[in-house]
Amino acid sequence: MEADSPSSLKDAILNRRMLICVFTGFTSGLPLYIVIQLIPAWLRVEGVGLAEIGFFTLVGLPYTWKFLWSPIMDRYTLPFLGRRRGWMFVTQLALMALIASMGFVNPALSIWTVASLAAALAFFSASQDIVLDAYRRELLPDAELGLGNSIHVQAYRLAGLVPGSLALILADFLPWHVVFMVVASFMSVGLVLTIFIHEAVAEPRPPETLFKAVVEPFREFFQRKGVRTALLILAFMFLYKLGDSMATALSTAFYIDLGFSLSEIGTIAKFASLIAAIVGGLAGGLIMIKLGINRALWLFGVVQMVSIFGFALLAEVGANPWMLGFVVAFEYMGVGLGTAAFIAFIARTTNPVFAATQFALFTALTALPRTLFNSSAGVIVESIGYTSFFLFCAALAVPGMLLLFKVAPWSADD
């Protein structure tokens, strides 16, 4: 492979496209981690029950239904900044406003207002993902999909340090409305990106009609892959992240229930996840260049599944700071690597001509378990306890791994 040469590796890593992937990852991950980490922690501290917090994940339904309005973002161009950048700017501005307003609501008195704001936050976050995924697919040549998406995913996960670490530390010293305003300010990263980049496609050709924008992406995918293979790919996309997604659904509440303070969670998570994400991101991208996407899915999928057992071990050990650091680091390493290979696989499966709608459909399938199954996580934990819950999550990871034999064989060329 040409990419194996030192000059090719250097060109693949040190270019402007990789830098853009850092910014797309951060601005895409920030609002999601607010929904799945900061808001549950805030609700738990304010006295909301664990079962209610579990059901609260249903506000993430926009992540599973985003393919319904993705054709609109493919078909229509806003009258400023261009086809992709215009939608980026609108969604990012809305996200900043929603995050800033969240902390002014008392969840103990207005839980439905919090739910409405969180649902709106999820909607604009999912909409931003539609256009950022499409832009990145148009930006990256096929040879850079593995590394570019690995960098995107690690930056995506690093963004979780803001709501999942910095915000929790600040919450021990500042009122919640100030915390949410500080977190909202980090969306300026996305706005700066949008203003200074250029459209990835100089002369975009959007679908001629909205009907074609809806129908053609589905027709093209099933014709290109064949119905049987296409259905297996969709099943794999649904199942591959099911186990680790459910395992991390109540991670912050889990740490709190073990007896860790918010500052301990924030501080330990910050250092452990930062090191693991940087090392994992660089290693994962380089491994995908060497091995290809298929073999990376196998290798990283095993690490991802094993990382779930770390949570079960922590549940038995209890509030041990060193064990927390190990579990968080391994989770960021394993799950981050698995996600990087998975997103690269999704990108490779799409046709760049229909990037927004196909990418939205595929990533919506990956979000469906997080929204539907994770909503029952609190009920399951209260029924069988944390240790048994995490062992159950590890078992859920097996079907997705078995489908690799069909959709991404180890010996097949990427």
Model confidence pLDDT, tens digit, residues 313-354? 988 888 888 888 888 888 777 766 777 778 788 888 887 777
Average pLDDT, stretch 125-139?
Answer: 88
Count of alpha carbons within 13 Å of 278, Cβ hemisphere only?
6
State the pLDDT at residue 336.
Answer: 67
Distances (CA, A) of 274 to 106, 245, 269, 340, 366: 32, 20, 8, 16, 25
Q: Is residue 67 within 8 Å of 357, Cβ to Cβ?
A: yes
Q: Is it the case that residue 6 has pLDDT exceeding 50?
A: no
Taking the C-alpha atoms of residue 92 and residue 128, their distance in angstroms, rounded to an integer, is 7
% of residues, the chain, pLDDT over 90: 11
What are the backbone angles phi and psi of residue 75, rounded to the nearest 5°?
-80, -40
Q: Is residue 143 within 8 Å of 285, Cβ to Cβ?
A: no
**pLDDT tens for each residue of 8-30:** 555 555 678 888 888 888 999 89
Q: pTM here?
A: 0.70
How many secondary structure helices (H) and strands (E) does the chain include? 25, 0
User: Quick one: pLDDT band at residue 370, thresholds 50, 70, 90?
Assistant: low
State the pLDDT at residue 375.
Answer: 67
- Decide which of 133 and 147 is more confident: 133
Question: Coil, strand or helix: which one is 385?
Answer: coil
- How far out from the chain centre does Cα 175 lie? 28
Count of alpha carbons within 13 Å of 213, Cβ hemisphere only?
20
CB atoms inside a 10 Å sphere around CB 2: 8
Which class is domain 2-407?
mainly alpha
Taking the C-alpha atoms of residue 224 and residue 275, their distance in angstroms, rounded to an integer, is 41
**pLDDT tens for each residue of 155-188:** 887 888 888 878 888 888 888 889 899 999 999 9
**pLDDT tens for each residue of 203-257:** 567 777 777 777 888 888 888 888 888 899 888 988 888 888 788 777 777 888 8
* Highest-scoring range by mean pLDDT, 39-48, 223-232, 238-247, 280-289: 223-232
Average pLDDT, the chain: 81
Average pLDDT, stretch 189-214?
Answer: 78
Burial class (CB in 10 A: 0-12, 13-18, 19+), 385: exposed
Residue with tokens 């690269």: 344
**pLDDT tens for each residue of 51-97:** 667 666 777 777 778 878 888 888 888 888 888 889 999 999 999 99
- What Rg, from alpha-carbon coordinates, does the chain have? 20
User: Quick one: pLDDT band at residue 5, thresholds 50, 70, 90?
Assistant: very low
**Helix axis angle, 355-372 relative to 321-349, nearest 10°?**
140
Residue of 169, 175, 173 whose CA lies nearest to 260:
169
State the pLDDT at residue 14.
Answer: 61
End-to-end CA distance of the chain: 11
Q: Is it the case that residue 7 has pLDDT exceeding 70?
A: no
